[in-house]
Chains A and B, each alone.
Chain A
Amino acid sequence: QKEVEQNSGPLSVPEGAIASLNCTYSDRGSQSFFWYRQYSGKSPELIMFIYSNGDKEDGRFTAQLNKASQYVSLLIRDSQPSDSATYLCAVPGVGNSGGGADGLTFGKGTHLIIQP
């Protein structure tokens, strides 16, 4: 079974600072990686996905992928109180195989708190 590990937090970051969220995964064959944001009582919302090694930027969000070390991170610049949520990292597939269309294996999520 695939595993995705995240520090559950809470991670507390002052407003305006950079929030750094990390995720490690067990299956070296994983090719794509997803970050979802989940507000309390709401469903997960896709905010970033990354397929290639390196960085991918979208507004205040940057996803970083290092396949050799099997970790993926999410940076949130200029953190706002509205960024306070749980951030879920996910990879496709549940077994030791799988492609992009497979169901996702999620980590437990990191609870992020942005302090005004």
Chain B
Amino acid sequence: EAGVAQSPRYKIIEKRQSVAFWCNPISGHATLYWYQQILGQGPKLLIQFQNNGVVDDSQLPKDRFSAERLKGVDSTLKIQPAKLEDSAVYLCASSHGLLGYEQYFGPGTRLTVT
């Protein structure tokens, strides 16, 4: 079974630029999560999708971050405009839901904002 796929793996941008990250969850997993992990900290939930609907985006900075999950499979997370404090690893995770709530993480995208 293929794991969670993410791209790109690394991205360097200047502040005020925009950036987008892509995630493809494990096949059959209805729930998809985006987390932000700043160096030295645990992952922080940004947004959770159930199929193509948003379940929780309470910790998403909506003035600059947006996310979508069209057709209930792939998802894209966008930052516009980026700030220095957005430098972090962005992790995508998925879970099946009905067969278990365990979350499986992708390799992450390391973002550096200069």
Q: How large is the interface on A (under 10, 10 to 19, 20 to 34, 35 or more residues)?
A: 20 to 34
> How would you classify the secondary structure of chain A's contact residues: helix, strand, loop or mixed?
loop
A98 (CB) vs chain B CBs: closest residue: B56
Given A43-B107, A43-B108, A102-B56, are A108 and B43 neighbors across the interface (CB < 8 Å)? no
Q: How far is the CB of B76 from chain A (nearest CB, A)?
A: 18
User: Given A90-B42, A103-B48, A43 and B58 touching (CB < 8 A)?
Assistant: no
Cα separation A84 to B101 with both chains bound (whole Å): 26
Number of A-B contacts (CB under 8 A): 58
A58–B49 Cα distance when bound, in Å, is 31
Task: Bin chain B's interface residue count.
Answer: 20 to 34
Q: Which of A86-102 contact B (CB under 8 A)?
A: 88, 90, 92, 94-95, 100-102
* Interface presence of B95 (CB below 8 A): yes
Q: Taking beta carbons and an 8 Å cutoff, which residues of A are in contact with B?
A: 4, 8, 32, 34, 42-46, 49, 88, 90, 92, 94-95, 100-109
List residues of B whose CB falls within 8 A of some A CB.
Answer: 31, 33, 35, 40-45, 48, 50, 55-56, 58-59, 89, 91, 95, 97, 101-108
